Every structure is written in C-alpha cells, then in structure tokens.
C-alpha cells in the first residue's frame, strides 16, 4: 500500500474518501472541520445537532457524495476528549479508519490532519497506525476473491513548509510498521513450517538484507558452549535448537557507552513437554516465539533508523516437546552460567532458554539487558490482555522504558520483584528451581528466575503472554499477532 503526501487544499482533493476526526468535548465542528462544514453547506452542524456526530472514541460517521467536496465520501472518526488526545489516539484513529474503509471495498482515501498537529509526529503516527491496520492473517488462504485491499492513502492537512517534516515522519513510521508486520508474519507461521531452524534462516536472511552482523548457532555450537538450559528443553524434540545473534554497531561507537542486549523467547511450539498442556487451545502455542519475533523486528528497524548505540540481539529458539528423550520433572540441569536448576515443571521452559540467552548476551558484551517473552499465564490473570507486565532491576532504566512505552502508545505496567520473592525459586537439591514454591505470583516467580542470570547488569523483563496475541479483532488491528513491545523498544534504543 502506497502512502503519499498531499498539500493541495483538501476541499479540491478528488479522492474515494476524505477522512478526518472530531473531538468529543465542546463543539465537534471547529477548526478544519468547520471549514468542511461550510463547504458542505452546514451538513456537519446538522449531524452534530441531531446527535449523530458526537466525537465519541472511534465513532464512525460516513457521508456519501458530500456536496461541496470533490471527495466521493466523507468519513469523520470520533477522537474522544481533546485532553486525552495524543499520538497513540491518532494512531488508532488512522488504523480504525483504514479498516472501516477497506471493509467497504474502497480502494483509496485521503487522511486530513487536524489543525495544530505537530506534523512529523502526526504523520509518523498515522503511517504506523494505517500500515499496522492493513495487516491481515490470510497468507494461507488459497481463495482470496473476497479479500479486500487498499491501493493508497494520501496524507494531507499540512502546508508545503512542513513537507520535510511530514516526509521524515512518514519514512520513520513506515520503517517501524514494516518491522512490526515482519514480526507479526513470523508469529503467524505455524510450527510445522516455522521450526527453530527455519526461524534461524529467516533471521539470517533479514540480517543480511538489513546489513546487520549475524551468527546463528546450531545444536553443535550450543552444546560446545554448554548451554544446558536451552538444550534441556530442546532434547525432547527431533527439531534441533538455534541460538540467533544479530548485532547492530553504530558508525562511530563510543568507548564505555552502554551496549543494549535484547533477548527474545522463541519457542516455536510449546506443548508443555512432559508436564503437557491441556489440548484445548494448545494450537495457540505457536505464538510462544513472539518475544523472539519482536526482537528480530526491532533489529530490522534499527538497521534502518541507525541509532547511536550498539545493540546485541540474542534469540534462543526450540520446540518444547514430550519426546522419548524429553527432560522429566525433577531433572537437574546446568545452565551455561554454571547454575544448577531443578526442572520441576517442563512447561516453565521459557525461563530456561532465556537463562542461557541472557548469559550469552552478557558474554558478548551487553551491559543493559531487556528480554521479551510470552512467559506466563499468570501475567494474563494479573493484567489481562491490556498491559504488558514490566519487571525491572534498575528503576532509572525501567522508568526510561516506561516513558518510551507511553511515547510509543503501548500499555505497560510495572510489577514488583523484591528480594522476598527470591525464596520462591530456592532449590531443594539444586541452586534454583524453575517453578515457585510460594502461593500465587506466577509471573513474578518467572521474572525472579530470569533475574538469577543477569548478575548486576540493569535488566528489564517484559512478559507479553497476554498482549502478543489478539483473540478478537480490534477496530484498528486484525485478530492475531500484535507485534507488541516493538515500538517501545525502538523508541527506547533511539533515545540513547
């Protein structure tokens, strides 16, 4: 889908649909919308007066053949209260407008930014929202005759003077949304197609194209490096594991500067292993590699955005299967760090593979660690599918991430990891155990386990089990993978 920039007066635009947004509080017919009202002979005033146009969040008001405009349709999207309006709201408006228009088989529309918008940030938000909204999970449908698609969007509502800013925002928005959709494509792939080997090949191909350094460790090198925690999960499957390393190095690296380590869980299918999961809903466990996909997407975007900081991405990948060689509850494993682990539940496998991923990232020189993982069902109980669970060992670093989440429009909520929780993972016969002995607090237990491998490096853990997959379509996003955390992490890295 093409996105163009247009500075002609919107009244003269020949488009299939002219789209803008109205606010809920005060009079919805003001500013640029008042101009539209005048051109249409007071149509919007009438709609507002009759209560049809209110500006309530994501309300859709569609007018066909509006008189006084060259556009075939006029769509006004509710923007909610003005005081709550920000780039995150604008992103959703653009996404919801796109999906609404696309579902009506319209091929093209023009999106009018309202007066007083900061042009660069606004064009970025609209591009991100629209391109993410345009993503559909229909790759494996052979009959696409009913599939709808859009050809192009024109972005308008800014002056010629602001064209450079608009171009910048559009370019950055496209890089980020393309990376997000790249990650979502990976998550959608079923486990019979996307094995750890295939994920490794895809990561290598992406890295080469993007110009990133890449090293895909196979099962032999993983064994040579004594990554016993990753191997313990992989041993139950006939598919060999992979440890992927992608590195971005800035043009002028500063000595002593932080090196960011991004570690993503990529279990291409989680049956639970011998502690097998119930069959109901198990098909969803193909998305247990979403953390890894997010990190690969982040690296893809960083290669284009060129931040001023070095970033090392490590993605441990395996299946979790109950094969004849599978590890069994009670088995004791030695992680790469040398710590011994009692595996009391083979379904708590994400923390095992992250243990070696994090330790390896540190060995490669990462000073600041961030992991993303579909780690626990418990985070879904705590935060539902609305907020990402954030766990951090260093408050200034965590605050920086939370600020980036806010700026990127991704909801994240900090959870506690006080020392008192350490009791939960103390082992009986080994150093630590992979499930908690305490009551509840399952998501925290998972975080405490991972923390054991971070040493004294500042570290953040993102539990995305509840937020990486939309069970139902949203007005601005299709059902399925969301690519959550990617925008936040890109924003965070770019802020260095």
**Active-site residue (options: 70, 174, 197, 277):** 277
Contact 62, 30 (CB under 8 A): no
Active site residue 351: yes
Nearer of residues 188 and 268 to Zn ion, judged by Cβ: 268
The number of residues that bind Zn ion (CB under 5 A) is: 6
* Contact range with Zn ion by CB under 5 A, out of 21-29, 266-274, 301-309, 407-415: 266-274
Nearer of residues 337 and 374 to ligand BES, judged by Cβ: 374
Helices 163-188 and 196-210 sit at what angle, rounded to 10 degrees?
160
Nearer of residues 30 and 385 to ligand BES, judged by Cβ: 385
**Active-site residue (options: 45, 73, 351, 400):** 351
Beta bridge partners, 414, equal 390
Only one residue has tokens 């923007």, namely 79
Q: Backbone dihedral region of 384: left (phi > 0), alpha (psi from -120 to 50 degrees) or beta? A: left
Contact 273, 234 (CB under 8 A): no
Position among 239, 347, 356, 463 found at the interface with Zn ion (CB under 5 A): 347
117 makes contact, choosing from Zn ion, ligand BES, none, with CB < 5 to 8 Å by partner type, with: none
- Shortest distance (Å) from residue 348 CB to Zn ion: 6
- Shortest distance (Å) from residue 191 CB to ligand BES: 13
> Using the rule CB under 5 A, is 452 a contact of Zn ion?
no
Q: Quick one: which of 403, 406, 372, 404 has its CA closest to 389?
A: 372
> Using the rule CB under 5 A, is 371 a contact of Zn ion?
no
- Shortest distance (Å) from residue 378 CB to ligand BES: 6
- Shortest distance (Å) from residue 467 CB to Zn ion: 15
462 makes contact, choosing from Zn ion, ligand BES, none, with CB < 5 to 8 Å by partner type, with: none
Per-residue mark of binding to Zn ion, 275-304 (x: CB under 5 A)? -------------x----------------
Residues of this chain that interact with ligand BES (CB under 6 A) are 270, 288, 345, 347-350, 374-378, 435, 442, 465
> Using the rule CB under 5 A, is 350 a contact of Zn ion?
yes
Nearer of residues 75 and 183 to ligand BES, judged by Cβ: 183
376 makes contact, choosing from ligand BES, Zn ion, none, with CB < 5 to 8 Å by partner type, with: ligand BES
Helices 163-188 and 486-494 sit at what angle, rounded to 10 degrees?
130
113 makes contact, choosing from ligand BES, Zn ion, none, with CB < 5 to 8 Å by partner type, with: none
Nearer of residues 137 and 345 to ligand BES, judged by Cβ: 345
Beta bridge partners, 311, equal 248, 260
Only one residue has tokens 């955005």, namely 305
Tell me the residue length of the chain. Answer: 496
Nearer of residues 61 and 376 to ligand BES, judged by Cβ: 376
Active site residue 400: no
Give the catalytic positions in this structure.
277, 351
* Residue ranges that bind Zn ion, judged by CB under 5 A: 267, 270, 288, 347, 349-350
């Amino acid at each position: 889908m093409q996105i163009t920039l247009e500075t002609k007066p919107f009244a003269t635009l020949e488009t299939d649909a002219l789209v803008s947004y109205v606010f809920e509080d005060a009079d919805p017919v003001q500013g640029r919308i008042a101009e539209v009202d005048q051109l249409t002979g007071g149509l919007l005033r009438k709609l507002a007066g009759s209560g049809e146009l209110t500006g309530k969040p994501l309300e859709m008001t569609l007018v066909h053949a509006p008189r006084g405009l060259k556009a075939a349709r006029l769509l006004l999207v509710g923007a909610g209260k003005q005081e709550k309006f920000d780039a995150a709201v604008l992103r959703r408006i653009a996404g919801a407008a796109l999906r609404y228009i696309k579902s009506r088989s319209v091929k093209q529309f023009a999106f009018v930014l309202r007066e007083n918008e900061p042009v660069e940030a606004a064009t970025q938000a609209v591009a991100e929202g629209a391109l993410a909204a345009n993503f559909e999970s229909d790759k494996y449908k052979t009959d696409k005759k009913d599939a709808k698609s859009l050809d192009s969007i024109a972005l308008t509502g800014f002056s010629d003077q602001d064209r450079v800013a608009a171009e910048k925002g559009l370019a950055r928005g496209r890089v980020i949304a393309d990376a997000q959709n790249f990650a979502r494509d990976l998550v959608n792939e079923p486990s019979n197609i996307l094995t750890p080997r295939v994920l490794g090949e895809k990561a290598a191909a992406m890295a080469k194209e993007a110009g990133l350094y890449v090293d895909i460790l196979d099962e032999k090198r993983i064994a040579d490096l004594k990554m016993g925690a990753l191997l313990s999960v992989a041993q139950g499957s006939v598919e060999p594991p992979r440890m992927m390393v992608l590195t971005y190095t800035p043009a002028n690296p500063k000595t002593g500067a932080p090196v960011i380590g991004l570690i993503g869980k990529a279990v291409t299918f989680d049956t639970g292993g011998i502690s097998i999961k119930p069959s109901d809903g198990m098909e969803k466990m193909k998305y247990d590699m979403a953390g890894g996909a997010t990190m690969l997407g982040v690296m893809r975007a960083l290669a284009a955005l060129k931040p001023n900081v070095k970033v090392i991405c490590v993605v441990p990948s395996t299946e979790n299967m109950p094969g004849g060689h599978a590890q069994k509850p009670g088995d004791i494993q030695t992680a790469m760090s040398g710590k011994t682990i009692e595996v009391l539940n083979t379904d708590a496998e994400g923390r095992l593979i992250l243990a070696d991923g994090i330790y390896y990232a540190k060995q490669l020189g990462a000073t600041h660690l961030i992991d993303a993982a579909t780690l626990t069902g418990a985070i879904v109980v705590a935060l539902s599918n609305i907020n990402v669970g954030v766990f951090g060992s260093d408050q200034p670093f965590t605050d920086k991430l939370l600020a980036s989440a806010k700026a990127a429009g991704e909801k994240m909520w900090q959870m506690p990891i006080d020392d008192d929780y350490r009791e939960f993972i103390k082992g009986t016969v080994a150093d630590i155990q992979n499930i908690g002995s305490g009551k509840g607090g399952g998501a925290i237990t998972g975080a405490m386990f991972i923390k054991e491998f971070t040493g004294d490096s500042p570290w953040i853990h993102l539990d995305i089990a509840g937020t990486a997959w939309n069970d139902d379509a949203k007005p601005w996003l299709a059902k399925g993978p969301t690519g959550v955390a990617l925008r936040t992490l890109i924003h965070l890295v770019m802020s260095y």
